[in-house]
Structure 1
Amino acid sequence: MVKEESRREWYAEQTIKNGWSRNTLEMQIKSGLYERQAIANNKTSNYHKHLPELQSDLANEILRAPYNFDFLTIQGKAHERGIENALITHIRDFLIELGQGFAFVGSQVSLTFDDQEFFVDLLFYHLELRAFVVIELKNTKFKPEHTGQLGFYLAAVDDQLRKPGDNQTIGILLCKSKNKVIAEYALRNISAPIGVSEYTLSKSIPTDLKGSLPTVEEVEAELNESAKEN
């Protein structure tokens, strides 16, 4: 039996909010979504510095640490473009992992300046944020120069794609690994709203989480209890 009632309540709330099926709920529990999304201390971003409070709170809420891409079937060494193509092939699973509100716009989206062409890895629009979201994939550990490149893409999307009524474009940088302190230093003086996270291709659950994960039955009991109260 799970000791932390807050976990069960959170999963119950997310099930209602996102309309999860039983299978999706079970998948999210096994992936440790509560630890990856609900715990702010695990996250690295500068959203609070560059976005209005309500928008920055939502942007930080949707950020996950890490992202779990265990639905991909990549053989051998994974390259950035290979991971990107696999995510597009499994776009339904990718959207479930990103969370509610994300709409896929395109991959390798072209941005042209005079005779130079640049390509955004993955471009989404978030319906609740009312903003474009640029996701940049790096199959390496985090490097400070990555934030400069992503900041450039955010400015370009704001200038070329953003429409009246859209909010400022935000960025999510996904790396194979990151040092939290280095990432925080790199974001400190960057003027673009960027979140830095890691991704994993592994199906394994950290040992310290296994004993604390609720079962689907426990969350369903929480949902039934909530329904009775209402």
Structure 2
Amino acid sequence: MWSVRTLERHINSFYYQRLLSSQTHSDVPIDNQKPDKTLTTGFIKDPYVFEFLNIPEPVAGLEQDIEKALIGNLQQFLLELGKGFSFVGRQFRISTETSHYYIDLVFYNYLLKCFVLFDLKTGKLTHQDTGQMDMYIRMFDDLKKQDDDNPTIGIIL
């Protein structure tokens, strides 16, 4: 029931292998499934496939190069993210009384009614990266989130 374009994309992005390697087959979303609006499973993809960036594996570039490539291909990036995403900003500044912090990419998902923060990393994930994202989420919830929004989601790519 897929279009030719969708089928070619799934073949080129090794969709079948990702489906087989996922712990449960519901981890990899299928295009014609209708997601449950109470869960993020249908809205937040895992894994993301960025074949449209033409970045060789392993990633040897800088985080800012990847950010520029994602912004340059924003339409494809939004389609890869899933349903309901809208772009808010890049290098989004959030400030305290003493410091300024910059979040790589900020999106809003109007179906989940929450902000989604992306932090781009090219190296190995560390505890500092996780702590930094946790700080970004807490600050964003305190300073930017509206009362009727759901809690902010943070994704480290």
Taking structure 1 as the reference length, the TM-score comes to: 0.55
1:21-76 Cα offsets, whole Å, 9 max, x none, are: 64244313432446657945497xxxxxxxxx964xx3233333332212114589
1:103-153 Cα offsets, whole Å, 9 max, x none, are: 111110000111310001110111211100011111012222211100100
The reply on whether 1:141 has 2:124 as its aligned counterpart is yes
**Aligned 8 A contact 1:133 1:171 in 2:** yes
Quote how far apart the aligned CAs of 1:163 are.
1.0
The reply on whether 1:99 has 2:82 as its aligned counterpart is yes
Aligned partners of 2:43 and 2:23: how far apart in 1? 11
Aligned to 2:46: 65
Does the C-alpha gap of structure 1 residues 89 and 81 become closer, same or farther in structure 2, counting only changes over 3 Å? same
Within 5 Å, give how 1:126-165 maps onto structure 2: 126-165=109-148
**Aligned 8 A contact 2:45 2:82 in 1:** no
Aligned to 2:70: 87
Aligned to 2:9: 27
1:6-34 Cα offsets, whole Å, 9 max, x none, are: xxxxxx4xx6xxxxx64244313432446
Q: Which has the higher contact order (CA 8 A, sep 6+)?
A: 1
Quote how far apart the aligned CAs of 1:77 are.
3.3
1:167-188 Cα offsets, whole Å, 9 max, x none, are: 00011111xxxxxxxxxxxxxx
Long gaps (5+) in structure 1: 1-11, 16-20, 44-52, 175-230
Q: Which has the higher helix share?
A: 1
SS in 2 for 1:167: coil
Does the C-alpha gap of structure 1 residues 138 and 129 become closer, same or farther in structure 2, counting only changes over 3 Å? same
Does the C-alpha gap of structure 1 residues 32 and 78 become closer, same or farther in structure 2, counting only changes over 3 Å? same
Q: More deviation in 139-148 or 68-77?
A: 68-77
Q: Alignment identity in percent?
A: 38
Aligned partners of 2:37 and 2:5: how far apart in 1? 32
Does the C-alpha gap of structure 1 residues 124 and 37 become closer, same or farther in structure 2, counting only changes over 3 Å? farther
SS in 1 for 2:94: strand
**Aligned 8 A contact 1:37 1:62 in 2:** no
Aligned partners of 2:99 and 2:79: how far apart in 1? 35
Letter in 2 for 1:60: T
**Aligned 8 A contact 1:131 1:167 in 2:** yes
Does the C-alpha gap of structure 1 residues 40 and 101 become closer, same or farther in structure 2, counting only changes over 3 Å? farther
**Aligned 8 A contact 1:87 1:94 in 2:** yes
**Aligned 8 A contact 2:90 2:105 in 1:** yes
Report how many aligned residue pairs link the two structures.
Answer: 145
SS in 1 for 2:139: helix
